[in-house]
C-alpha cells in the first residue's frame, strides 16, 4: 500500500497535532505540523471570535424570547415602514450608481484621454471618507444652516431630515462600487470586440447592448450586489441626515439603533437579523459568482 | 504595436485636455455624465465641507480642533484604528496563509465569511459586539472576573475597529501569496535555507508591500468608522468618544463650523492615507511584477 | 476598390506612429504591409479601416475622400489579430451580426440572413460548426470565422491584421494558401499586415515595407527581393552576410573580389554589401577569382547544407545543395575558395 511505504519517510512528523491532510512526506515547501497547527489556530480562532460569534449573537439575541416575539418585532408598523424606506432608498441609489458606473467604465476603459488617473482617484474618494463625513457634507449644503438652506426653506423643499437626504447620503457612500468592478474588467477585455462590431456596422448602442453588456453582465451583477448590500446597511451617513423621525425617516439600521437605545433588545436584534440575513445572502451570491464566473470578473477583489 | 499604446498613454498625460477621436462612440456622453455626477454627488459637497471652517478663521480652526475633547476624540480614533490595523496585520497574515497554503474541510466557507465585515451593516455589528462583550455577555462574563472590561471602554472601540478592518489585510495579501513563485522558495530550500529563513528572507519581503497596503486600508477604514463603534464604546467624553461621534454631537448643537473643522481634519488625514495607499499599491505592483 | 493614401500621419502623444505616408492600393489587389513591430503597419491598417483617425493627410476610397468617414460607411471588412469573435455568440450569430445591426431598414428577413451565413460558412468550410461557441474552436477555425464574419457585409475592402500571427506553422501554411484562393475567387481588394517576410512575399501581389512610420519600398515580391531599395529592406528580407566593400563603376570590391551589383548601384566610394547564402559558391582549391575561406561549422538541414565560413575574419553563411556537395569534404577547418555571385550594395551615407 502506498501509505505503508511512505510511512518510513514520515517519521519526522510523529505527533499529528492537527492532521488536515492525508499522511505523506513533507515537501520542501510544506510547513512543519506545529507551524500549521499554530497558524490554523490563530486564523480560525481570530475568525471565530470576530466573525462567527457576532453573527451567532445576532440570531441568538433575536430569538431570546421565542419566535413569537421575534415575529411581532418585525411586523410592528414602525419596523415595517423602516423596511419599506430602506428598500425605497436602495431602489433609487443602486440604479443611479449603476448608470454612473457603466458610463464611467465606458469612458475610462474604452477611450484614451488625459487625466484618467485623476478621475479614477476621484471615483475612489468616497471609499476613503468617513461615513459620518459623507452625511455631514450634505447637511452643510442643504441643512437649515447650510449653504443652500435659506433658498430651500424659501421654496419649502426639505432635503435633510427627509428621504432625499437619505438617498443622497446613500448614493455618496455606494458611489464607487459598480464603477470599481467594471473599469478593470472592461480594461482587461480590451476594445477588439467593440471595434469588430463597429466595422460590421453596429451603432454605439447596438455595440454596447449586444457585445459589451453580455461580456460584463456577471461583473455588473457583482458590483450591484455589493452596492446594494452597502446601500441597505449604511448607518453612519444616513444617521447624520435622517433626523430619526420614527416611521418617516428611519431606515432599518437606524431603527435598530432606536430600538437598542430604548433597551428593546429583542426587537433591535430581530430587525438586525434581517440585515444579517441580507449580508449572508450577499456573501453567498458573491461567492457563487466568484466560483462560477471567476474568470469573467475583474481581478481586483477588494472593498 | 503594443509599444504605441504605451507611448500614447504616457504622453497623453502631458498634453492639455483633448479627447482623441475614437472609433468607439459615446465618449462625450459617458464622460459628461461621469464628470457631472461625480461633481454633483462628491466634489461639490466635499468642497462645501472644506470651505465651511473658513468662517472660523485660521486661529478659530486651530482652537476648534485642539480643544481637549476634540483632541482626545481624534487621539482615540487614530490610536485605536492603528492598534486595530496592527492586530489585523498579524492575524490577517495568518488567515491569508491558512487560506492559500493549507487544505482543510470548509475552506471555501471560511474564505467567504472573511468578507462579512464588508457585508454586515455596521449597526448590526455594533450591537452584536456589544452583546458579546457587555459585562453579562457571552464573552464579557468571562472577562469580568479577571477585571477586564471591554464594552464601554476604549478597549471596546479597539474590538469594533478590529472587526471592521478584518478583511482588508487578508484580501490584499491573499492574491500576492497565491502568485508567489514556488520556484523562489524551492531555490531557497535547495540552497540550504531553513523554512523560517525562507519565510523571513524570501516570502515576507515579497508580501510586505501588500501587507502594508492592507494595513493602511484597514487603518483608513477604522479611523472614520462610526456605526459599529458607538454601541460598544460607551461614548464617554475624553475617554471613549470617537471623532465621528463628536461631529454628530456638534451638528446636533448646530455648530456646523465646528463639525466641519473636525470633518476637514479627518478628511485631510484620509487624503494622506489615500496617497500612502496609492504609493504602496504602486510598490506592490512593481514588486510583484504585475 | 482602390485606396489612395496621401501624406497620412498619426501621432500618439509625442510618438509619431505613421509619418506622412503616400500609398495607393489598386482594385482587386492583395497588398501586404510588412515591417518589424513598431513600424506603424498596424496603425496604418487601422486608419484605412477607420479604427483610428489620421492627424494629417487624407485617405480616399475609389477617389472619394474618406478621411473622417466612420468604419461602416467605408465598406471595409476587418479581421482582427486575435479575431475579436463575440464570445457569447455562436459561430452562426457571429457571422450574422453584421447583417442584423446598423440602421438597416427594412430588416433583412431571417431566411436571407441564414442563407447568406450558411453560404459563407460553406466557403470557410465551417458549416458543421455553426452552433459552436468561439471557445470551442481551434485557432485556425476562429480565424476562418473571423474572415467569414468580415465578408458577411460584402465589404469593398478586406483588411487583416497579422492574420496568421497566432497560429502554428502548419495551420499557417494551409490558411495562407486558402486566403490566396478566397482572394482570387472573390476579387475583393485586400490589405494584410505581417511581420513575416516569407508570408508577405509568398502571398501578396505587392508588398509595402514600413520602417519607423515611413514607407521604405513598395513593389512586387520579386522587385523588393531582387532590388531592395534600402539597406533596411535588404536586411529585413534576409539580406545575408553584411560585408564592407568599395563601390566601383558597375561592380563592388569585396575582400578583393569583383562582385556584380544586383540592385541599383550607389555612387562610387565605401559601402556595405549584403550577400545572400545562395549567392555564395564554393570552388575546389584556390582559383584566381576566388577568396580564401575556412569552414567553421557545417549543418545539414533537410535538402540543404548550411555552412559557416570564415572569410578573412568575416563570418558568412552559405547554403549548398546536399546532393551535389554531399561527397565533398567540408568538415570544420577545411580550406575552400569562395566566389560571390552577386551582392546588394548600399553607400555608407544611405
Domains observed in chain A: 67-300 (1.10.3720.10)
Domains of chain C, by residue range, sit at: 3-232, 239-347
Residue C83 contacts residue C37 (beta carbons within 8 Å): no
Closest CA to C188 of C159, C161, C148: C159
Residues of chain C found within 8 Å of residue A200, distances taken between Cβ atoms: 72, 97-98, 101-102, 149-150, 152-153
Q: Closest Cα of chain A to C253: distance in Å?
A: 52
> Is the CB of C82 less than 8 angstroms away from the CB of A202?
no
The pTM score is: 0.82
State how far the Cα of C77 lies from the Cα of C1, in Å rounded to an integer: 13
Cell of B48: 462645501
Residue C272, all three cell numbers = 556595405
Task: Map residue C162 onto helix, strand or coil.
Answer: coil
C3-232 shares its CATH topology with C239-347: no
Q: Do B12 and C42 touch (CB under 8 A)?
A: no
In angstroms, the Cα distances linking C114 to C85, C117, C290 are 19, 5, 69
From chain C, pick out residues whose CB is under 8 angstroms from the CB of B1.
Answer: 37-38, 42-43
pLDDT beneath 70: ranges in chain C: 105, 284-288, 326, 349-350
Q: What pLDDT shows up at residue A35?
A: 87
Alpha-carbon gap: B264 to the closest alpha carbon of chain A (Å): 9
Confidence bin at A9 (pLDDT 50/70/90): very low
Distance separating the N- and C-terminal Cα atoms of chain A: 49
Classified as helix, coil or strand, C281 is strand
A14-68 pLDDT per residue, tens: 444 454 555 555 566 677 888 889 999 999 999 999 999 999 999 999 998 889 8
The answer to whether C350 and C230 have CB atoms below 8 angstroms apart is: yes
The whole-number average pLDDT for the span B44-48 is: 90
| DSSP three-state, residue A7 | helix
Taking alpha carbons only, the member of C51, C89, C88, C84 closest to residue C70 is: C51
pLDDT confidence of B20, banded at 50, 70, 90? low
Judged by DSSP in three states, C273 sits in: strand
B183/C114: higher pLDDT: C114
Strand order in the sheet with C214-219: C76-79, C157-161, C189-194, C30-34, C206-211, C214-219
CA–CA distance, A267 with A74 (Å, rounded to integer):
7
Interface check for C53 against chain A (CB to CB < 8 A): the answer is: no
Q: Return the number of CB contacts < 8 Å for A and C.
A: 66
Q: Is the pLDDT of residue A8 over 70?
A: no
Cβ distance of C37 and B1 shorter than 8 Å: yes
**What pLDDT is stored for residue B187 in this prediction?**
80
The Cα–Cα gap between C122 and C129 comes to 10
Which residue in C9, C10, C11, C12 has the most chain B C-beta atoms within 10 A of its own C-beta, making it the best mutation to test that interface? C12
Which among B94, B111, B224 has CB closest to A42? B94
Nearest residue, CB atoms, A214 vs list C71, C80, C88? C88
Count of residues for chain A? 303
pLDDT in tens, A111-149: 988 888 889 889 988 888 899 999 999 999 998 888 888
B103 touches chain A (CB under 8 A): yes
Cβ density class C113-122: b for 16+ within 10 Å, e for less: beebbeebbe
| Backbone phi and psi for residue C58, each to the nearest 5 degrees, phi listed first | -140, 160
Give the 3-state secondary structure of chain B.
Answer: CHHHHHHHHHHHCCCCCCCCCCCCCCHHHHHHHHHHHHHHHHHHHHHHHHHHHHHHHHHHHHHHHHCHHHHHHHHHHHHHHHHHHHHHHHHHHHHHHHHHHCCCCCHHHHHHHCCHHHHCCHHHHHHHHHHHHCCCCCCHHHHHHHCCCCCCCHHHHHHHHHHHHHHHHHHHHHHHHHHCCHHHHHHHHHCCCCHHHHHHHHHHHHHHHHHHHHHHHHHHHHHHCCHHHHHHHCCCCCCCCCHHHHHHHHHHCCCHHHHHHHHHHHHHHHHHHHHHHHHHHHHHHHHHCC
Question: Residue C114: its pLDDT value, please?
Answer: 94
CB contact under 8 A, A235 and B226: yes
Q: State the CB neighbour count (10 A cutoff) for residue B19.
A: 14
Closest to A143 measured CA to CA, from A236, A230, A13, A242: A242
Q: Which residues of A touch C154 (CB under 8 A)?
A: none
Tally A–B CB contacts below 8 A: 327
* pLDDT tens per residue across span B197-253: 888 888 888 888 889 989 998 999 999 999 999 999 988 888 889 999 999 999 888
* Closest CA relative to residue C5, chosen from C56, C52, C58, C41: C58
- C300 bridge partner residues: C305
Q: pLDDT tens across B202-213, in order?
A: 888 888 888 998
Answer whether C144 touches A (CB < 8 Å). no
Q: What span, in angstroms and rounded, lies between the C-alpha atoms of B179 and B181?
A: 6
- Could you tell me which chains touch chain C, where touching means 3 or more CB pairs under 8 A? A, B
Give the pLDDT score at C175: 86
Instruction: Say which residue, B22 or A124, is predicted with more confidence.
Output: A124
Q: In what side-by-side order are the strands of the sheet with C335-340?
A: C280-283, C335-340, C291-301, C304-311, C314-321
Cell numbers of B145, please?
472576573
Q: Say yes or no for a CB contact (<8 Å) between C53 and B12.
A: no
The verdict on a CB contact (< 8 Å) between A130 and B226 is: yes
Nearest CA in chain C to B8: C12
Please tell me which of the candidates B1, B10, B21 has its beta carbon nearest to residue C13. B10
Using an 8 Å CB-CB cutoff, list chain A residues near B124. 58, 233, 253, 256, 272, 275-276, 279
Closest to B218 measured CA to CA, from B177, B269, B167: B167
Query: Cβ distance A232 to A90 under 8 Å?
Result: yes
Average pLDDT over residues B113-137: 92
Question: What ipTM was reported for this prediction?
Answer: 0.84
For chain B, the chains sharing at least 3 beta-carbon pairs closer than 8 angstroms are A, C
CA angle centred on A267, ends A263 and A268, rounded to 5°: 65
Nearest to B14 among C13, C43, C70 (CB): C13
Q: Which residues pair with C59 in a beta bridge?
A: C5
> What b/e string do you get for B133-150 counting C-beta neighbours within 10 Å, with b at 16 or more?
bbeebbbbeebeeeeebb
Cβ–Cβ under 8 Å, residues C347 and C269: yes
What pLDDT does A14 receive? 41
SS3 A197: helix
- pLDDT at position B289 over 60: no
CB-CB neighbors (< 8 A) of C87 in chain A: 193, 215
pLDDT band at B182 (very low <50, low <70, confident <90, very high): confident
The overall average pLDDT reported for chain A is 85
Instruction: Report domain C239-347's class.
Output: mainly beta
Q: Residue C75: what pLDDT?
A: 86
Q: Do A253 and B123 touch (CB under 8 A)?
A: yes
Distance between A175 CA and the closest CA of chain B, angstroms: 9
What residue has cell string 495579501? B173
Is C12–B5 a contact, with Cβ atoms under 8 angstroms apart? yes
Q: Which of B159, B227, B282 to mutate to test the interface with A (most CBs of A within 10 A)?
A: B227
Q: C3-232 in CATH: which number?
A: 3.40.50.300
Q: In Å, how far are A29, B185, B190 from B194, measured between CA atoms?
A: 10, 10, 10
Tens of pLDDT along A197-228? Answer: 999 989 889 999 999 999 999 999 999 999 99
Amino acid at each position: 500500500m502506498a501509505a505503508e511505504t511512505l510511512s518510513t519517510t514520515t517519521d519526522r512528523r510523529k505527533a499529528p497535532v492537527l492532521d488536515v491532510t492525508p499522511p505523506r512526506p513533507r515537501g520542501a515547501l510544506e510547513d512543519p505540523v506545529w507551524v500549521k497547527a499554530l497558524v490554523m489556530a490563530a486564523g480560525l480562532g481570530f475568525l471565530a471570535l470576530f466573525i462567527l460569534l457576532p453573527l451567532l449573537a445576532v440570531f441568538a439575541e433575536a430569538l431570546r424570547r421565542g419566535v413569537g416575539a421575534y415575529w411581532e418585532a418585525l411586523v410592528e408598523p414602525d419596523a415595517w415602514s423602516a423596511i419599506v424606506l430602506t428598500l425605497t432608498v436602495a431602489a433609487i441609489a443602486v440604479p443611479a450608481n449603476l448608470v454612473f458606473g457603466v458610463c464611467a467604465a465606458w469612458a475610462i476603459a474604452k477611450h484614451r484621454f488625459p487625466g484618467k488617473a485623476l478621475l479614477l482617484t476621484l471615483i475612489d474618494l468616497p471609499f476613503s471618507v468617513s461615513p459620518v463625513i459623507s452625511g455631514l457634507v450634505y447637511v452643510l449644503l442643504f441643512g437649515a444652516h447650510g449653504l443652500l438652506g435659506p433658498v430651500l426653506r424659501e421654496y419649502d423643499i426639505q432635503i435633510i431630515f427627509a428621504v432625499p437626504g437619505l438617498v443622497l447620503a446613500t448614493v455618496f457612500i455606494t458611489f464607487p462600487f459598480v464603477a470599481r468592478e467594471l473599469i478593470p474588467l472592461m480594461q482587461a477585455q480590451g476594445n477588439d470586440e467593440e471595434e469588430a462590431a463597429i466595422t460590421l456596422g453596429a451603432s454605439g448602442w447596438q455595440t454596447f447592448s449586444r457585445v459589451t453588456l453580455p461580456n460584463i453582465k456577471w461583473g455588473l451583477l457583482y458590483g450591484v450586489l455589493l452596492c446594494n448590500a452597502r446601500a441597505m446597511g449604511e448607518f453612519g451617513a444616513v444617521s447624520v441626515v435622517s433626523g430619526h423621525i420614527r416611521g418617516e425617516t428611519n431606515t432599518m439600521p437606524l431603527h435598530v439603533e432606536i430600538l437598542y437605545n430604548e433597551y428593546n433588545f429583542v426587537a433591535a436584534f430581530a430587525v438586525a437579523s434581517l440585515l444579517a440575513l441580507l449580508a449572508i445572502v450577499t456573501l453567498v451570491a458573491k461567492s457563487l459568482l466568484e466560483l462560477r464566473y471567476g474568470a469573467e470578473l475583474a481581478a481586483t477583489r477588494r472593498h | 504595436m503594443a509599444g504605441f499604446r504605451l507611448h500614447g498613454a504616457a504622453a497623453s498625460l502631458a498634453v492639455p485636455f483633448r479627447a482623441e477621436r475614437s472609433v468607439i462612440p459615446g465618449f462625450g456622453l459617458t464622460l459628461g455624465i461621469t464628470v457631472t455626477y461625480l461633481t454633483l454627488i462628491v466634489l461639490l459637497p466635499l468642497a462645501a465641507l472644506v470651505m465651511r471652517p473658513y468662517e472660523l478663521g485660521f486661529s478659530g480652526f486651530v482652537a476648534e480642533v485642539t480643544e481637549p475633547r476634540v483632541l482626545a476624540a481624534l487621539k482615540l480614533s487614530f490610536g485605536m484604528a492603528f492598534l486595530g490595523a496592527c492586530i489585523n496585520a498579524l492575524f490577517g497574515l495568518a488567515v491569508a496563509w491558512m487560506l492559500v497554503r493549507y487544505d482543510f474541510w470548509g475552506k471555501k466557507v471560511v474564505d467567504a465569511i472573511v468578507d462579512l465585515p464588508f457585508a454586515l451593516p455596521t449597526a448590526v455589528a455594533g450591537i452584536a459586539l456589544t452583546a458579546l462583550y457587555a459585562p453579562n455577555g457571552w464573552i464579557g462574563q468571562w472577562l469580568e472576573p479577571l477585571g477586564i472590561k471591554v464594552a464601554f471602554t476604549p478597549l471596546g472601540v479597539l474590538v469594533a475597529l478590529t472587526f471592521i478592518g478584518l478583511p482588508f489585510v487578508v484580501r490584499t495579501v491573499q492574491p500576492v501569496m497565491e502568485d508567489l513563485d514556488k520556484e523562489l522558495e524551492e531555490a531557497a530550500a535547495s540552497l540550504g535555507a531553513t523554512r523560517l529563513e525562507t519565510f523571513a528572507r524570501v516570502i515576507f519581503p515579497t508580501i510586505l508591500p501588500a501587507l502594508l497596503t492592507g494595513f493602511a486600508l484597514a487603518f483608513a477604514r477604522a479611523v472614520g468608522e462610526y456605526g459599529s463603534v458607538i454601541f460598544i464604546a460607551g461614548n464617554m467624553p475624553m475617554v471613549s468618544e470617537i471623532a465621528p461621534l463628536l461631529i454628530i454631537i456638534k451638528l446636533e448643537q448646530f455648530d456646523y463650523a465646528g463639525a466641519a473643522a473636525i470633518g476637514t481634519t479627518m478628511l485631510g488625514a484620509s487624503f494622506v492615507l489615500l496617497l500612502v495607499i496609492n504609493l504602496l499599491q504602486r510598490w506592490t505592483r512593481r514588486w510583484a511584477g504585475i | 476598390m482602390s485606396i489612395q493614401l496621401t501624406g497620412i500621419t498619426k501621432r500618439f502623444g509625442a510618438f509619431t506612429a505613421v509619418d506622412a505616408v503616400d500609398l495607393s492600393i489598386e482594385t482587386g489587389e492583395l497588398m501586404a504591409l510588412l515591417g518589424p513591430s513598431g513600424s506603424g503597419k498596424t496603425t496604418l491598417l487601422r486608419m484605412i479601416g477607420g479604427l483610428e483617425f489620421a492627424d494629417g493627410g487624407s485617405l480616399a476610397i475609389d477617389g472619394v475622400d474618406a478621411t473622417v468617414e466612420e468604419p461602416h460607411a467605408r465598406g471595409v471588412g476587418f479581421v482582427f489579430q486575435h479575431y475579436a469573435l463575440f464570445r457569447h455568440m455562436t459561430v452562426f450569430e457571429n457571422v450574422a451580426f453584421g447583417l442584423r445591426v446598423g440602421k438597416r431598414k427594412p430588416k433583412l428577413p431571417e431566411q436571407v440572413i441564414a442563407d447568406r451565413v450558411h453560404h459563407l460558412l460553406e466557403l470557410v468550410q465551417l458549416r458543421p460548426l455553426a452552433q459552436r461557441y468561439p471557445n470551442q474552436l481551434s485557432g485556425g477555425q476562429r480565424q476562418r470565422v473571423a474572415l467569414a464574419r468580415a465578408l458577411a457585409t460584402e465589404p469593398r475592402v478586406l483588411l487583416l491584421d497579422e492574420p496568421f500571427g497566432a497560429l502554428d506553422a502548419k495551420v499557417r501554411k494551409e490558411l495562407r494558401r486558402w486566403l490566396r484562393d478566397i482572394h482570387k475567387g472573390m476579387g475583393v481588394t485586400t490589405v494584410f499586415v505581417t511581420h513575416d517576410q516569407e508570408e508577405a512575399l509568398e502571398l501578396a501581389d505587392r508588398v509595402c515595407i514600413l520602417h519607423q512610420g515611413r514607407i521604405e519600398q513598395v513593389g512586387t515580391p520579386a522587385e523588393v527581393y531582387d532590388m531592395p531599395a534600402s539597406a533596411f529592406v535588404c536586411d529585413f528580407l534576409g539580406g545575408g552576410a553584411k560585408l564592407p566593400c568599395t563601390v566601383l563603376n558597375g561592380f563592388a570590391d569585396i575582400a578583393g573580389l569583383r562582385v556584380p551589383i544586383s540592385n541599383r548601384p550607389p555612387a562610387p566610394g565605401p559601402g556595405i554589401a549584403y550577400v545572400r547564402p545562395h549567392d555564395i559558391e564554393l570552388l575546389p582549391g584556390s582559383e584566381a577569382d576566388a577568396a580564401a575561406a575556412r569552414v567553421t561549422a557545417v549543418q545539414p538541414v533537410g535538402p540543404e547544407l548550411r555552412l559557416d565560413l570564415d572569410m578573412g575574419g568575416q563570418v558568412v553563411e552559405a547554403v549548398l545543395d546536399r546532393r551535389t556537395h554531399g561527397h565533398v569534404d567540408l568538415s570544420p577547418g577545411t580550406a575552400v575558395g569562395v566566389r560571390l555571385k552577386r551582392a546588394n550594395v548600399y553607400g555608407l551615407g544611405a
